């Protein structure tokens, strides 16, 4: 019933890799990675980040792509096909991305605005007051959010092959070329470049701490689009001809490369603009959202007319990156709605995009500080609140569940037999996961190493988070509570409405 249907799937292996990379490369790489690197000790953070990608990211990505591929269906059905009582994980995998869209699109909207403004008002825009007046305006950010969401909805409406795959095939190579060009330009700026490199590549482990380690893990999940439905949904659109291991590794390499190169470009150009920026208390925004939207425009403005071109290219690149990510976020829920409720793709996309837009309005006001910054949730601005719930708590949980499902539940057999990862390796191979030589290693990782690592980092990291927020007079308990409420809602909705009924598969999309 759920056979592979070319019509709705990716046309080629490279198309799939580019689309998955399109999802992975996003604001996480170009905005999150650099500012977290600045906050948590430069190369110390980068090192832990790379370790997380190697030991956790690649494994979880293979698990998720495979979970999708074997089911040829939306995320709920994908988990259900392994075990009916696990379908709630698929429900969460739909809820989490939908939440992310609501703040991601606001930042996407800002980015569109910056791209458009590169030539006209770069100088004016680079002074922090006008940045502040743009984001705190009650209308402008909302208008740009809608423009950004509309662009992504239009691509999704085109379908997987003719919309998502086609767009990724053009946009991703363009993005890569731009980031490399900008990095070369930045490295050639001369004065200050050495200071920038020193800040980026000199590890300062004293700044890392457990919150830094947790931030690195969260960042890895976020940047690789793991721990929710994305890779499951995209994986479901592939057939046996795609090499899962190879594709996952390619996506991880591509994603990490873009983050590293972006870091190079950003820190060297800040060094050129003002090497004092790296000193404590310099007043230059490095460790926050402001890095990309406040500090970089100032850097571009200082580069004269050529800076305008660089600014345009840079923000166009960020727009592309954000667009291909939001497409993947929106596709997860769209896929489910199409399949479960037998709605046409265009209509499903429209309904979901409108819903996300509605929620993103208060988020835009909250992040930008409109209405005197009164719109907050438990003291947090809504972006931080949503981001922490998903990034810090739910995505690690989601990725851990995917690993456990693949590592423990696909295989049938007694508990004792299942303790042995080599039995799992054979069972997975029979089930259709051919990883060649690394199959055994994968079985050990997915079964034991990766889930344990995630749990350990999560527990210690959350304890550290309490302290981090305590110092800011904020209570992390609200974020934990928010995450638990979301999970409870997901689990309840699943067991009440979806456990005992058909939840559709890819072949249902007409």
- Which positions lie near ligand PHE, rule CB under 6 A? 23-24, 26-29, 97, 100, 222-223, 225, 230, 325, 328-329
- Torsion sign over Cα 168, 253, 398, 469: negative
Please, what is the minimum distance in Å from the beta carbon of residue 476 to ligand PHE? 21
Q: How would you label 284-309 residue by residue, b for 16+ Cβ within 10 Å and e otherwise?
A: bbbeebbbbbbbbbbbbbebeeebbe
Q: What are phi and psi of 377, to 5 degrees?
A: -120, 115
DSSP characters over 224-253: TT-SSSHHHHHHHT--TTS-HHHHHHHHHH
Nearer to ligand PHE, 262 or 301 (CB): 262
Please, what is the minimum distance in Å from the beta carbon of residue 29 to ligand PHE? 5
67-72-74 Cα angle (round to 5) = 80
Region for residue 190 given its phi and psi (left: phi exceeds 0; alpha: psi -120 to 50; beta: otherwise): left
Please, what is the minimum distance in Å from the beta carbon of residue 239 to ligand PHE? 23
Please, what is the minimum distance in Å from the beta carbon of residue 419 to ligand PHE? 33
Nearer to ligand PHE, 29 or 506 (CB): 29
Q: Long-range CB contacts (< 8 A, 24+ apart) of 369-377?
A: 369/132, 369/135, 369/136, 370/136, 370/137, 370/138, 370/141, 371/138, 373/136, 377/478, 377/482
Please, what is the minimum distance in Å from the beta carbon of residue 462 to ligand PHE? 20
Nearer to ligand PHE, 27 or 156 (CB): 27
DSSP characters over 258-320: HHHHHHHHHHHHHHHH-GGGGSTT-----SSTHIIIIIHHHHHHHTHHHHHHHHHHHHHHHHH
Nearer to ligand PHE, 230 or 250 (CB): 230
Nearer to ligand PHE, 97 or 263 (CB): 97
Nearer to ligand PHE, 122 or 384 (CB): 384
Nearer to ligand PHE, 257 or 474 (CB): 257
Nearer to ligand PHE, 2 or 231 (CB): 231
Nearer to ligand PHE, 64 or 508 (CB): 64
CB neighbour class for 67 (10 Å; exposed up to 12, middle 13-18, buried from 19): buried
Q: What are phi and psi of 17, to 5 degrees?
A: -60, -45
Please, what is the minimum distance in Å from the beta carbon of residue 24 to ligand PHE? 5
Nearer to ligand PHE, 144 or 222 (CB): 222
Q: Look up residue 214 and give its two tokens.
A: 């947790």
If we measure between CA atoms, which residue out of 327, 395, 425 comes closest to residue 60? 395
When computed from its CA atoms, the radius of gyration of the chain, rounded to whole angstroms, is 22
Please, what is the minimum distance in Å from the beta carbon of residue 333 to ligand PHE? 12
Please, what is the minimum distance in Å from the beta carbon of residue 326 to ligand PHE? 7
Nearer to ligand PHE, 15 or 26 (CB): 26
Distance CA 218, CA 207 (A): 17
Please, what is the minimum distance in Å from the beta carbon of residue 325 to ligand PHE? 4
DSSP characters over 13-41: HHHHHHHHHHHHSSHIIIIIHHHHHHHTT
DSSP characters over 458-474: HHHHHHHHHHHHHTTT-
Please, what is the minimum distance in Å from the beta carbon of residue 499 to ligand PHE? 26
Q: Look up residue 471 and give its two tokens.
A: 């110092």
Please, what is the minimum distance in Å from the beta carbon of residue 431 to ligand PHE? 26
CA distances from 98 to 39, 228, 332, 337, 399 (A): 28, 10, 8, 13, 17
């Amino acid at each position: 019933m759920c056979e592979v249907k070319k019509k709705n799937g990716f046309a080629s292996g490279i198309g799939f890799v580019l689309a998955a990379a399109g999802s992975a490369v996003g604001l996480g790489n170009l905005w999150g990675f650099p500012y977290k690197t600045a906050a948590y000790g430069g190369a110390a953070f980068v090192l832990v980040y790379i370790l997380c990608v190697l030991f956790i990211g690649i494994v979880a990505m293979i698990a998720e792509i495979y979970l999708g591929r074997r089911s040829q269906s939306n995320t709920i059905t994908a988990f259900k096909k392994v075990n009916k009582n696990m379908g709630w994980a698929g429900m969460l995998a739909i809820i989490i991305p939908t939440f992310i869209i609501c703040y991601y699109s606001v930042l996407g909207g800002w980015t569109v605005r910056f791209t458009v403004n590169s030539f006209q008002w770069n100088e004016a825009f680079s002074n922090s007051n006008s940045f502040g007046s743009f984001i705190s305006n009650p209308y402008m950010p909302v208008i740009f959010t809608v423009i950004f969401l509309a662009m992504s909805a239009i691509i999704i409406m085109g379908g997987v092959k003719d919309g998502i795959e086609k767009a990724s095939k053009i946009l991703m190579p363009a993005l890569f070329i731009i980031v490399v060009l900008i990095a070369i330009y930045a490295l050639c700026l001369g004065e200050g470049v050495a200071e920038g490199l020193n800040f980026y590549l000199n590890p300062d482990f004293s700044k890392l701490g457990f919150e830094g380690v947790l931030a690195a893990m969260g960042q890895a999940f976020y940047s690789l689009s793991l721990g929710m439905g994305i890779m499951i949904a995209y994986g479901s659109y592939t057939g046996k001809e795609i090499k899962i291991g190879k594709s996952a590794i390619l996506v991880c390499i591509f994603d990490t490369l873009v983050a590293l190169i972006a870091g190079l470009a950003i820190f060297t150009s800040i060094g050129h603009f003002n090497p004092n920026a790296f000193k404590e208390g310099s007043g230059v925004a490095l460790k926050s959202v402001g890095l990309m939207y406040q500090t970089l425009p100032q850097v571009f403005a200082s580069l004269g007319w050529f800076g305008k071109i660089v600014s345009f290219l840079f923000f166009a690149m960020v727009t592309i990156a954000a667009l291909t990510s939001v497409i993947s976020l929106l596709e997860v829920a769209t896929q489910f709605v199409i399949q479960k409720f037998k709605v046409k793709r265009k209509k499903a996309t429209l309904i979901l995009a409108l819903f996300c837009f509605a929620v993103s309005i208060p988020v835009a006001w909250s992040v930008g500080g409109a209405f005197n910054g009164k719109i907050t949730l438990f003291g947090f601005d809504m972006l931080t609140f949503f981001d922490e719930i998903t990034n810090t708590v739910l995505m690690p949980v989601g990725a851990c569940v995917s690993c456990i499902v693949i590592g423990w539940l696909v295989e049938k057999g007694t508990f004792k037999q299942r303790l042995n990862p080599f039995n799992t390796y054979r069972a997975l191979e029979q089930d259709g996961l051919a990883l060649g030589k690394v199959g055994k290693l994968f079985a050990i990782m997915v079964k034991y190493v990766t889930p344990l690592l995630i749990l350990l980092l999560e527990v210690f990291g959350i304890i550290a988070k309490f302290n981090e927020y305590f110092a800011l007079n904020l209570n992390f308990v609200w974020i934990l509570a928010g995450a638990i409420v979301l999970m409870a809602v997901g689990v309840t909705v699943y067991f009440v409405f979806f456990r005992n009924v058909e939840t559709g598969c890819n072949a249902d999309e007409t």
